[in-house]
Chains A and B, each alone.
Chain A
Amino acid sequence: MQRVVAEYISDLGAEVGYQKFYPQSDQFNPLHFFSLPDPGTLQEKVNCSSFAINVIGIARAPRGDGKEAIVLVTPYNFEDADLLDALSVGLTYSVFSLLTQVTWLAKDIIWLVADSRCGEYSSVAAWLRDYQTPVFGSSSAADSSTCDSSNTFYGLKDSSVIERKITDNFRRAGTMAAALVIKVIDKSEPFEDTLSLYAEASNGQMPNLDLINIVNYLAVHRQGLHVKVQKLTSLINAKWLTVLAQIFEYVGVIARRLNPQWKFGIPAAEYVDGTATLASSLYNQALGVPTGPHGAFRDYQVDAVTLEFSPKVYSMSKGRHKEFLVQGGRLIEGVIRSVNNLLEKFHQSFFLYLLTSPGRFVSVGVYMIPFALLVTPLPIMAASLYTKTNNLDSDAETNDLSIYQKSFTWLNAAKKVLLVHLWGAIVSLLPYAICHLGVSTPAMNLAVWSMLSVLCYLLFCLILGVRSAKSGKAQWAVLKSATLSAVFIGLCLMSVVNFATAEFGALLLVPMCLVIYPLKSDLHAGGLMNFSRMACNLALVLIGFPPAAFILLKGALDGFHSIYVGDFWIWVESLWAWNSATYLYITMIHLPCWLLCLHVLLHTR
Chain B
Amino acid sequence: MTTAPLKLFSAFNSMAIPLLVLSLCLSNLCGSASASVSSSSETTMHTNNWAVLVCTSRFWFNYRHMANTLSLYRTVKRLGIPDERIILMLADDMACNARNKYPAQVFNNENHRLNLYGDNVEVDYRGYEVTVENFLRVLTGRHETAVPRSKRLLSDEGSHILLYMTGHGGDEFLKFQDSEELQSHDLADAVKQMKEKGRFKELLIMVDTCQAATLFSQLHSPGVLAIGSSLKGENSYSHHLDSDVGVSVVDRFTFYTLAFFERLNMYDNASLSSLFSSYNPSLLLSTAYYRTDLYPRQMEQVPVTNFFGSVMETIHTDHPYRYSKRKGSSKGKIEMSLDQAVQDEKRRILSNLGDQNIDSDTKCPMGSMIHMWNSILDEIEKFEDRDTLVYYGLVMMLPLLAVSSWLSS
B 240-257 contacts with A by CB, 8 A: 246-247
In the complex, A64→B98 CA distance in Å?
Answer: 5
With A63-B103, A103-B103, A337-B246 given, is the CB distance from A343 to B98 under 8 Å? no
B246 contacts across to A, CB distance below 8 A: 104, 337, 341
Closest to A102 in B: B101
In the complex, B128 has a CB within 8 A of chain A: no
What class of interface size applies to chain A in its complex with B? 10 to 19
B 58-103 contacts with A by CB, 8 A: 59-61, 96-103
A 316-367 contacts with B by CB, 8 A: 337, 340-341, 343
B96 contacts across to A, CB distance below 8 A: 63
In the complex, A102→B60 CA distance in Å?
Answer: 17
In the complex, A21→B98 CA distance in Å?
Answer: 35
In the complex, A278→B97 CA distance in Å?
Answer: 42
CB-based contact A103/B101 at 8 Å:
yes
In the complex, A110 has a CB within 8 A of chain B: no
Q: What's the nearest-Cβ distance from chain B to residue A50, in Å?
A: 42
What total of chain B residues lie within 8 Å of the partner, measured CB to CB? 13
B61 contacts across to A, CB distance below 8 A: 341, 343
With A104-B246, A337-B246 given, is the CB distance from A343 to B60 under 8 Å? yes
Q: What's the nearest-Cβ distance from chain B to residue A471, in Å?
A: 71
In the complex, A63→B96 CA distance in Å?
Answer: 9
Q: What's the nearest-Cβ distance from chain B to residue A299, in Å?
A: 29
B59 contacts across to A, CB distance below 8 A: 343
Closest to A104 in B: B101
In the complex, A105 has a CB within 8 A of chain B: yes
CB-based contact B60/A105 at 8 Å:
no
Q: What's the nearest-Cβ distance from chain B to residue A337, in Å?
A: 7
In the complex, A106 has a CB within 8 A of chain B: yes
CB-based contact B98/A61 at 8 Å:
yes
In the complex, A65→B247 CA distance in Å?
Answer: 21
In the complex, A105→B97 CA distance in Å?
Answer: 10
CB-based contact A341/B60 at 8 Å:
yes
In the complex, A78→B367 CA distance in Å?
Answer: 114
In the complex, A61→B100 CA distance in Å?
Answer: 12
In the complex, A104→B97 CA distance in Å?
Answer: 9
In the complex, A343→B60 CA distance in Å?
Answer: 8
Q: What's the nearest-Cβ distance from chain B to residue A67, in Å?
A: 11
In the complex, A343→B63 CA distance in Å?
Answer: 13
Closest to A62 in B: B98
A64 contacts across to B, CB distance below 8 A: 98
Closest to B246 in A: A341
CB-based contact A63/B60 at 8 Å:
no
Closest to B245 in A: A104
With A337-B246, A341-B246, A343-B59 given, is the CB distance from A106 to B97 under 8 Å? yes
Q: What's the nearest-Cβ distance from chain A to residue B302, in Å?
A: 43
In the complex, A102→B102 CA distance in Å?
Answer: 10
Q: What's the nearest-Cβ distance from chain B to residue A536, in Å?
A: 58
Q: What's the nearest-Cβ distance from chain A to residue B248, in Å?
A: 12
In the complex, A102→B247 CA distance in Å?
Answer: 17
Q: What's the nearest-Cβ distance from chain A to residue B106, in Å?
A: 14
Q: Mark interface residues in A68-109 (1 if CB within 8 Å of B CB, else 0).
A: 000000000000000000000000000000000011111000
Q: What's the nearest-Cβ distance from chain B to residue A251, in Å?
A: 36
A103 contacts across to B, CB distance below 8 A: 100-103
In the complex, A106→B103 CA distance in Å?
Answer: 12
Q: What's the nearest-Cβ distance from chain A to residue B10, in Å?
A: 86
B98 contacts across to A, CB distance below 8 A: 61, 63-65, 104-106
Closest to A340 in B: B99
A 380-427 contacts with B by CB, 8 A: none
Q: What's the nearest-Cβ distance from chain B to residue A218, in Å?
A: 12
In the complex, A438→B59 CA distance in Å?
Answer: 61
Closest to B59 in A: A343
Q: Mark interface residues in B212-223 (1 if CB within 8 Å of A CB, else 0).
A: 000000000000
Closest to B99 in A: A106
Q: What's the nearest-Cβ distance from chain B to residue A348, in Å?
A: 12
In the complex, A340→B98 CA distance in Å?
Answer: 10
B99 contacts across to A, CB distance below 8 A: 104, 106, 340-341
CB-based contact A104/B100 at 8 Å:
yes
In the complex, A226→B100 CA distance in Å?
Answer: 31
In the complex, A337→B96 CA distance in Å?
Answer: 17
B247 contacts across to A, CB distance below 8 A: 341
B 29-72 contacts with A by CB, 8 A: 59-61
A105 contacts across to B, CB distance below 8 A: 98
A341 contacts across to B, CB distance below 8 A: 60-61, 99, 246-247
Closest to B101 in A: A104
Instruction: Tell me which of A61, A104, A105, A337 has the highest count of chain B C-beta atoms within 10 A of its own C-beta.
Output: A104
A 96-126 contacts with B by CB, 8 A: 102-106
In the complex, A535→B98 CA distance in Å?
Answer: 70
Instruction: Tell me which of B97, B98, B102, B247 has the highest count of chain A C-beta atoms within 10 A of its own C-beta.
Output: B98
Closest to B98 in A: A106
In the complex, A106→B99 CA distance in Å?
Answer: 5
B100 contacts across to A, CB distance below 8 A: 103-104
Q: What's the nearest-Cβ distance from chain B to residue A227, in Å?
A: 21
Q: What's the nearest-Cβ distance from chain B to residue A339, in Å?
A: 11
B102 contacts across to A, CB distance below 8 A: 103
A63 contacts across to B, CB distance below 8 A: 96, 98, 103
In the complex, A337→B60 CA distance in Å?
Answer: 13
Closest to B244 in A: A104
Closest to B96 in A: A63
Closest to A65 in B: B98
Q: A104-B98, A106-B99, A341-B246 are in contact. List 9 more A-B contacts (CB 8 A).
A: A63-B103, A102-B101, A103-B101, A103-B103, A104-B99, A105-B98, A106-B98, A341-B99, A341-B247
Name 26 A/B residue pairs within 8 A (Cβ), A-sorted: A63-B96, A63-B98, A63-B103, A64-B98, A102-B101, A103-B100, A103-B101, A103-B102, A103-B103, A104-B98, A104-B99, A104-B101, A104-B246, A105-B98, A106-B98, A106-B99, A337-B246, A340-B99, A341-B60, A341-B61, A341-B99, A341-B246, A341-B247, A343-B59, A343-B60, A343-B61
| 9 nearest CB pairs, A to B | A106-B98, A63-B98, A104-B101, A64-B98, A106-B99, A341-B99, A103-B101, A104-B99, A341-B246
